[in-house]
């Protein structure tokens, strides 16, 4: 949380890049806390492993004497932008705290499809990705109608489990 | 509860990202603040997916797509910035007018 302030307010861009890496690692720990291990692993591999290394490379690559001449000018526009962003943050906080989340969860809870507990999180993400996108593309590619779509699903080993469970 | 804390954290990161994106004069710093905004959106997606849709995980799938788009943006954005830097020897935002000649 303090690292994100460091991204914005540090003079030296190298400190901004390292505090950005700190923010990304903390967000990844938050994903683990929020029962999303696959997104946490993707966060660590892609954001911290690739994007942050790339940003540090660009910062070190461009680091010349130009940065010491860029002294920070606190103009009137910065103050106006600070007030606008603070008002955005305050309005978002009031919206978050005033909404009664308990009532929303009871309306959506019975609509959930109860699946088996044996399937882990990563397998569910894979099933949803393949089932939702690749099957549609295969049907569109082979140019078959609804009958072909019905015939295709039981032949696939992972989709037949879901179909038999729902039917 | 942890749900409202997560939403407050997301709003906090989003506000700081917008402030940094608007007030930054360096192009590389603008790209860093854009990463903050994308991460704030991802926190929202994962939090709502964990709270409402604890079996279907559609919010997780969407956040993986956002991570992929952010990776592509992080590859192309610094490439453009370094190309402008080689031509103009500056990373100021208001001096990126090479197409105007």
In chain B, the domains with their CATH numbers are 1-91 (1.10.287.3510)
Of residues A51 and B17, more confidently modeled: B17
Quote the tokens at residue B49.
């997916």
Distance CA B71, CA A43 (A): 11
Ranges A4-8, A157-161, B40-44, B49-53: which has the least confidence: A157-161
Residue A156 lies in a domain: no
Residue A86 maps to a domain: no
Q: Is the pLDDT assigned to residue B37 strictly greater than 80?
A: yes
Chain A, nearest residue to B61 by Cα: A125
- Between chains, do A13 and B28 touch, taking CB under 8 Å as contact? yes
Question: Domain range spanning residue A51?
Answer: 1-66
Q: What is the pLDDT of residue B101?
A: 53
Share of chain B above pLDDT 90, in %: 0
In this structure, are residues B60 and A39 in contact, taking their beta carbons and an 8 Å threshold?
yes
For residue A129, the model assigns a pLDDT of 61
Q: Which residues of A touch B90 (CB under 8 A)?
A: 66
Would you call B36 and A70 a contact, using CB atoms and an 8 Å cutoff? Answer: no
Within 10 A of A87 (CB to CB), how many other CB atoms are there? 11
In a domain, A89, yes or no: no
- Any A CB within 8 A of B47 CB: yes
Structural domain includes residue A71: no
Q: What is the pLDDT of residue B91?
A: 58
Query: Residue B14: what pLDDT?
Result: 83
Chain A residues in contact with B7 (beta carbon < 8 A): 96
Q: Taking the CA atoms of chain B, what radius of gyration do you get in angstroms? A: 17
Cα first-last separation, chain A: 48
Q: Do B36 and A20 touch (CB under 8 A)?
A: yes
Minimal CA separation from B100 to chain A, in Å: 24
List of residues 6+ apart from B40 with CB closer than 8 A? B10, B11, B13, B14, B17
**pLDDT for res B68:** 84
Q: What pLDDT is recorded for position A99? A: 61
Look at chain A and report how many structural domains it folds into: 1
Would you call B63 and A39 a contact, using CB atoms and an 8 Å cutoff?
Answer: yes
Residue A167 pLDDT: 42
Q: What is the pLDDT of residue B69?
A: 81
Residue-level pLDDT, tens digit, chain A, 167 residues: 556 666 655 556 666 777 777 777 777 776 776 666 667 777 677 767 777 777 777 776 665 544 444 444 556 666 776 777 777 777 777 776 666 554 555 454 444 444 444 445 555 566 656 655 555 555 555 544 545 444 555 545 554 445 544 44
CA distance B73 to B67: 10
Residues of A with Cβ-Cβ distance to B44 under 8 angstroms: none
Residue B69: closest C-alpha in chain A? A46
- Rounded distance between C-alpha atoms, residue B6 and residue B47, angstroms: 7
Residue A59 counted as domain residue? yes
**What's the CA gap between A97 and B44, in Å, rounded?**
15
Average pLDDT over chain B, rounded to an integer: 73
């Amino acid at each position: 949380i303090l690292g994100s302030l460091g991204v914005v307010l540090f003079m030296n861009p190298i400190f901004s890049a390292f505090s950005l890496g700190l923010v990304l690692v903390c967000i990844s720990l938050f994903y683990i806390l929020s029962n999303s291990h696959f997104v946490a692993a993707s966060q660590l591999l892609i954001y911290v492993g690739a994007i942050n290394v790339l940003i540090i490379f660009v910062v070190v690559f461009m680091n010349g004497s130009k940065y010491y001449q860029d002294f920070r000018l606190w103009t009137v526009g910065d103050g106006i932008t600070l007030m606008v962003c603070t008002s955005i943050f305050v309005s978002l906080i009031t919206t978050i705290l005033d909404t009664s989340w308990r009532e929303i969860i009871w309306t959506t809870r019975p609509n959930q499809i109860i699946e088996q507990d044996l399937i882990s999180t990563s397998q569910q993400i894979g099933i949803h990705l393949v089932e939702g996108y690749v099957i549609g593309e295969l049907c569109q590619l082979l140019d078959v109608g609804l009958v072909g779509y019905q015939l295709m699903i039981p032949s696939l080993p992972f989709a037949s489990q879901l179909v038999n469970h729902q039917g | 509860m942890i749900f409202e804390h997560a939403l407050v954290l997301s709003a906090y990161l989003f506000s700081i990202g917008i402030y940094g994106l608007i007030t930054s004069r360096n192009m590389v710093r603008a790209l860093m603040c854009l990463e903050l905004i994308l991460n704030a959106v991802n926190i929202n997606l994962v939090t709502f997916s964990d709270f409402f849709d604890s079996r279907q995980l559609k919010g997780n799938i969407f956040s993986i797509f956002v991570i992929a788009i952010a990776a592509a943006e992080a590859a192309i954005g610094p490439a453009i910035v370094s190309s402008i830097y080689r031509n103009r020897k500056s990373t100021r935002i208001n001096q990126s007018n090479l197409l105007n000649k």
